[in-house]
Amino acid sequence: MIRFLLNRLLLIIPTFIGITIVAFAFVRVLPGDPILMIAGERSVSPERYQALLAQFGYDRPIWVQYWDYLSGIFQGDFGTSISTKRPVIRDFLTLFPATVELAFCATIFAVVLGIPAGIIAAVKRGTWFDQTLMGTALVGYSMPIFWLGLLLIIFFSGYLGWTPVSGRIDLLYFFPAVTGFMTIDSLLSGQDGAFVSALRHLILPTITLGTIPLAVIARQTRSAMLEVLGDDYVRTARAKGLSPGQVIGVHALRNALIPVVTTIGLQVGVMMAGAILTETIFSWPGIGKWMIDAISRRDYPVVQAGLLLIALIVMAVNLIVDVLYGLINPRIRHN
């Protein structure tokens, strides 16, 4: 088991180095001179230019600069935002919980609806229920989620007036951000209605972000389940006289869920991209909106660090899923 863990850890080292090289190269390939960008558009005297070049270390060989960048990352130095003048990592850590909260709810939404839907569709294969469900899943899979979010706002916020249009909580509530998760902080504050307000703000973004993962998980569960239901050990279980509930719930499901775990893990990357769109629509103050704002403000240190941090998070989640996959599937671990 330890060998398996070490093996997986070793495998991500090249990916890690690759990601840092891409993020490092990002600033170099930008059109224009990095010094002129920092100094502003006005002209700089040649002496001042040389001084700035030395100050930022751009006069050194490229591999020394890369090494510098890499050791900075290990010390938690991801650069300084041009617009807020604060360390990028501080802004990131302030905003990150909002994205985690949203992505977590979306994952729960997708898993809780997607897995049962996939199981029922597989068991009732070929019926109208199966066909309707898989048709719906294909629509969900093809959905432009930025449009779905707008439709939800038109219907639930505009027409019915049930849910708020944007933000994380009503402005009349004010309490300290202890954990950064609005649902937990609102409970801790003990203010009446704060928690409900936080939940109401979460509903539409959750549906928007969770729709594509929901469709993918339902489709994947169905096909994994169909594959398992045709296997010999399921037939054996049936032949032993176990009830259909036991066969499906115990024997088939446990094996069918193994590939589904990987699918759920892969959705994290999809969600990070989806968060960019969802947060933009709902003015959700997370890292997706932060990235878009940084791009439009040309705050390149933020874009660079955001690209790096999001890729590292996706990498870490994939590693965890990989390890989990080995834990629940001994056939992989011993290979």
Question: Site residues (CB under 8 A) for another protein?
Answer: 14-15, 18-19, 22, 26, 29-31, 125, 135, 138-139, 141-144, 146-148, 150-151, 153-154, 157-158, 165, 222-223, 226-227, 269-270, 272-274, 276-277, 280, 291-292, 295-296, 303, 307, 310-311, 314-315
How far is it, in rounded angstroms, from Cα 160 to Cα 139? 24
State in angstroms the smallest separation of the CB of 299 from another protein.
Answer: 11
Contact 323, 5 (CB under 8 A): yes
State in angstroms the smallest separation of the CB of 126 from another protein.
Answer: 10
- 3-state DSSP assignment of residue 87: strand
State in angstroms the smallest separation of the CB of 80 from another protein.
Answer: 19
How close are the terminal C-alpha atoms of the chain, in Å? 11
Cβ-based neighbours of 297, under 8 Å, separated by 6 or more = 82, 83
Give the chain's largest Cα–Cα span: 88
Token output for 140: 């969900």
- 3-state DSSP assignment of residue 80: strand
Which of 22, 328 has the CB closer to another protein? 22
Token output for 225: 């389940």
Which of 54, 138 has the CB closer to another protein? 138
Taking the alpha carbons of 280, 286, 288, 291 in that order, is the dihedral positive or negative? Answer: positive
Which of 183, 278 has the CB closer to another protein? 278
Contact 208, 288 (CB under 8 A): no
Which of 114, 182 has the CB closer to another protein? 114
Which of 288, 326 has the CB closer to another protein? 288
Token output for 12: 């991500």
Cβ-based neighbours of 261, under 8 Å, separated by 6 or more = 321, 324, 325, 328
3-state SS, 169-231, equals CCCCCCCCCCCCCHHHHHHHHCCCCHHHHHHHHHHHHHHHHHHHHHHHHHHHHHHHHHHHHCC
Which of 9, 151 has the CB closer to another protein? 151
Which of 69, 195 has the CB closer to another protein? 69
State in angstroms the smallest separation of the CB of 324 from another protein.
Answer: 19
State in angstroms the smallest separation of the CB of 200 from another protein.
Answer: 18
Token output for 111: 């898993």
How far is it, in rounded angstroms, from Cα 91 to Cα 175? 19
State in angstroms the smallest separation of the CB of 120 from another protein.
Answer: 15
Cβ atoms within 10 Å of 299's Cβ, excluding its own: 21
State in angstroms the smallest separation of the CB of 133 from another protein.
Answer: 13
Which of 188, 312 has the CB closer to another protein? 312
State in angstroms the smallest separation of the CB of 281 from another protein.
Answer: 8
